[in-house]
Amino acid sequence: MTELIGLHPTLAHHLVGTLGWTELRPLQRAAIAPIVAGQDALLLAPTAGGKTEAAAFPALSRMAAEGWHGLSVLYLCPLKALLNNLLPRLETYGGWTGRRVALWHGDTAGSQRRSMMADPPDLLLTTPESVESMLVSVNVDHHRLFAGLQAVIVDEVHAFGSGDRGWHLLAVLERLTRLCGHPLQRIGLSATVGNPAELLRWLQGSGVGKRPSVVVAPQPEWGKEMSSHVSFGMIHNGPRQDVQLDYVGTVENAAKVIAQLYRGDKRLVFCDSKRLVEMLGADLRVRGVTTHLVHASLSLDERRRAEQAFAEARDCVIVSTSALELGVDVGDLDRVIQVNSPSTVAAFLQRLGRSGRRPGTTRNCLFLALNEDELLHAAGLLLAWSRGFVEQVAPPPEPRHIVAQQLLALCLQEKRVGQGLWKDWLPLPELTVSARPVADYLIEQGFVDREDGMLFIGPEAERHFGRRHFMSLMAVFTAPPEFTVLHGRNEIGRVDPVLLIDGVQGPRLLLLGGRSWRVTWTDWKRRRCFVEPAESGGRARWLTSVPGGTSYELARAMRDVLLGADPPVTLTRRAAGTLAALRSDSIGRARPDGTVVSGGDDDLRWWTWAGYRANATLKATLGNLADESQRVDDLSIRLRPDLRPQTWSTAVKELRGHLCLPEIDDKALAGLKFSDALPRHLAVATLATRLADLDHAAAVLAEPSRFERQ
């Protein structure tokens, strides 16, 4: 095939002779030239668009053509499960050219790690956290291990770019670049995002503007395709997509629909909480449905067994959190079902893309809303999707706590670092701008010691982070405390400790892995509890993370739904009827040309339809005009009950141009990893800036506001 020009001849031979490929996918064709030429690149395609091969084949070809030796390519993923899934494929591809591929993450045995250090593979599948562990470990000669590194492939780069793991990733890449003494080719793989060019520039880090780069996206982006939609998910110039929205009201009804509607099909069901996964899984099993569960609090063995059993079966269901959203292969699916609504259009696109992979099949998704709020959210999300909206990937601003973590990690890596050399190791403006005050605080508090202009780890860092070789310093998020649940010697998973201490009558029953268990003994010191099977009655609960809330764009789409706009998908009679009732009840809450203040003395609300972050900003800006005790809401703000129209109108005019950052409490500060290594005022400023949405808050204040007090 002429389209294979640029690939190593042995690779090209195996693509045709071993895999039987008659042609490459558009993305794979388009990626060859820029990657072989050494350009930085962002490869953009829907789920199952062939992104792994699009990056791996030209990278392996470049490895062979330029005679790279030793560890020369890192393949980074956000999930260990995804790495496990990719290993067999990449081992095969590497083997065709005589190259070795290996895996290194938290579950890799010590003997395997020692073997890799003695004789490094050519391509290593790993996570950014594992790379940093190698950099700081006294057992790894990182100068030798990474001396020949040439390229880094970052899979699911959008999942990194939207959070602090992204800043951590970039900092680790900059440290690797300095170790190697030359720029590293950076290749990102992503599903649909709203700002691919900006995402690529972010991934380039200190190389932006210095290294050639290209966004490779030959296929139409799913979200953008929708601009030419007709009804019921039919897309012009693209695959047919069958999307339906139903209102079922309860978990029990959702289980009934899933069990009865698609008998004989392989169904992947997404839920956005571990508790809901457990409840739905248990209900499906009661109905005789072969059901498997996947979420982060199940043990590794439990998850692997579920994924393997699901991949090999046909008439079955797997119920999962977002853990199966990011490309883990569970075989061909017949149906994707979403219980309630994902938080973003981008997440919906990932999930929709898990279906319709076989020739002649249709990408599909059935939404099952459990309550009216979720139905409205799902309808708003689908309306925004139909208009071509996809969220932009925006790294969280002012990552001062990541600067603190990286300065400590750099001291561990190099043992002693010149107090001005952090600029050479972390040459990113977003990191260097706050490095001086952060470093001064670390020295002042004893996290770092200074002698003769050199910085090294101090006693406070040892006390806060030093346990188990500074493992807690390697992760940039705080994991909630959980108890390990054991049946005999078999680990089932982990549960919230509240389930083990709150009052119960009779036996203490847990729901885990879709099954009920009776607690027989709790080892409080080691955080373990032992269980035996129970017939039913188990409870599931996990601590929830700090709410991110609905975006401004989705909140406004929800308002448009209440004002009469229907998403162009199939609405069941139940969904259509419930939406009609919601529209009838929304009088006095929504208007197309501004905002509404409505309610009575007991509940006066400003219906902003502005989303969580804008409302947090507006609540802080309103001061004593708002009920200061309220929790921030996505759609409205509760006002002071004695407020009158003239007072409100005058206040809104005065507040324009005087926006305030949201208030931050101690609980929120405790959730910011490494906040102890920051001065309190800098930690508060970091969280307040991240929670604020000044632009949309200003836009809402500028809109006309009608006062309709009852």
Q: In degrees rounded to 5, what are phi and psi of residue 72?
A: -120, -15
Query: In terms of Cα–Cα distance, which of 273, 270, 369, 365 is closest to 325?
Result: 270
Choose the final residue of a domain: 386, 402, 424: 386
User: Which residues, including other chains, have CB under 8 Å from residue 304's CB and lie 6 or more apart?
Assistant: 84
Our CA dihedral for 253, 259, 265, 268, rounded to 10 degrees, sits at 50
Residue 574: alpha-carbon gap to chain centroid: 32
pLDDT tens-digit map of 34-46: 999 999 999 998 7
How many structural domains comprise the chain? 4
CB atoms within 10 A of CB 40: 26
Residue 667 covered by a domain: yes
Residue 65 covered by a domain: yes
Report yes or no: 376 and 561 within 8 Å, Cβ to Cβ.
Answer: yes
Q: Are residues 212 and 313 in the same domain?
A: no
State which amino acid sits at residue 337.
I
Report yes or no: 518 and 530 within 8 Å, Cβ to Cβ.
Answer: no
Q: Considering the entire predicted model, what is its pTM?
A: 0.89
Give the H or E element holding residue 338. strand 335-339
Q: Are residues 529 and 610 in the same domain?
A: no
State which amino acid sits at residue 439.
A
Q: In degrees rounded to 5, what are phi and psi of residue 668?
A: -65, -40
CB crowding 42-60: b at 16 or more within 10 Å, else e = bbbbbbbbbbbbbbbbbbb
Q: In degrees rounded to 5, what are phi and psi of residue 298?
A: -85, 150
300: its two tokens: 């590794």
Residue 540 covered by a domain: no
Strand partners, 40: 213
- 618 sits in the region (left: phi over 0; alpha: psi -120 to 50; else beta) called alpha
Q: In degrees rounded to 5, what are phi and psi of residue 325?
A: -80, -35
Token look-up 């992760």 returns 475
- Give the Cα separation of 147 and 639 in Å (integer): 61
Residue 56 covered by a domain: yes
What is residue 528's three-state secondary structure?
strand
Choose the final residue of a domain: 322, 354, 386: 386
Residue 604: alpha-carbon gap to chain centroid: 36
309: its two tokens: 């059993």
Strand partners, 523: 528
Q: Are residues 509 and 608 in the same domain?
A: no
Q: In degrees rounded to 5, what are phi and psi of residue 602?
A: -90, -15
Q: In degrees rounded to 5, what are phi and psi of residue 315?
A: -85, 85
Query: In terms of Cα–Cα distance, which of 285, 250, 350, 265 is closest to 48?
Result: 350
Residue 309 covered by a domain: yes
User: Which residues, including other chains, have CB under 8 Å from residue 409's CB and lie 6 or more apart?
Assistant: 132, 135, 136, 473, 474
Q: Are residues 215 and 325 in the same domain?
A: no
What is residue 57's three-state secondary structure?
helix
Q: Are residues 303 and 185 in the same domain?
A: no
pLDDT at 237: 35
- In DSSP notation, 167-230 reads HHHHHHHHHHHHHHTSPPEEEEEES--S-HHHHHHHHHGGGTTTS-EEEE--SPPHHHHGGGB-
Give the β-pairing of 483-487 and 705-709. Answer: unpaired
Q: Are residues 191 and 306 in the same domain?
A: no
Query: In terms of Cα–Cα distance, which of 619, 706, 687 is closest to 655?
Result: 619
Q: Are residues 227 and 367 in the same domain?
A: yes
Report yes or no: 165 and 176 within 8 Å, Cβ to Cβ.
Answer: no
Residue 276 covered by a domain: yes
Report yes or no: 396 and 690 within 8 Å, Cβ to Cβ.
Answer: yes
CB atoms within 10 A of CB 420: 12
Query: In terms of Cα–Cα distance, which of 257, 228, 256 is closest to 241?
Result: 228
pLDDT at 6: 85
Give the β-pairing of 335-339 and 417-418. Answer: unpaired
pLDDT at 359: 67
- Give the Cα separation of 96 and 90 in Å (integer): 10
Strand partners, 529: 485, 522
Q: What is the span of the domain harbouring residue 521?
A: 483-533
- Give the Cα separation of 247 and 575 in Å (integer): 5
CB atoms within 10 A of CB 182: 8
Q: Are residues 169 and 80 in the same domain?
A: yes
Q: Are residues 280 and 139 in the same domain?
A: no
Choose the final residue of a domain: 198, 222, 246: 222
Residue 42 covered by a domain: yes
Q: Are residues 212 and 246 in the same domain?
A: no
- Sites in the chain below the pLDDT cut of 50: 220-238, 546
CATH number at 300 reads 3.40.50.300
Residue 173 covered by a domain: yes
- Give the Cα separation of 644 and 709 in Å (integer): 8
Instruction: Give the per-residue SS3 of 470-538.
Output: HHHHCCCCCCCCCEEEEECCEEEEEECCHHHHCCCCCCCEEEECCEEEEEEEEECCCCEEEEEECCCCC
Query: In terms of Cα–Cα distance, which of 346, 75, 47 is closest to 199?
Result: 346
Report yes or no: 411 and 454 within 8 Å, Cβ to Cβ.
Answer: no
Q: Are residues 19 and 165 in the same domain?
A: yes
Report yes or no: 59 and 52 within 8 Å, Cβ to Cβ.
Answer: no
- Give the Cα separation of 244 and 409 in Å (integer): 49
Q: Are residues 8 and 141 in the same domain?
A: yes
pLDDT tens-digit map of 204-251: 999 999 999 999 998 544 334 333 332 333 333 345 689 999 999 999
Distances (CA, A) of 189 to 82, 119, 699: 13, 28, 34
Residue 180: alpha-carbon gap to chain centroid: 30
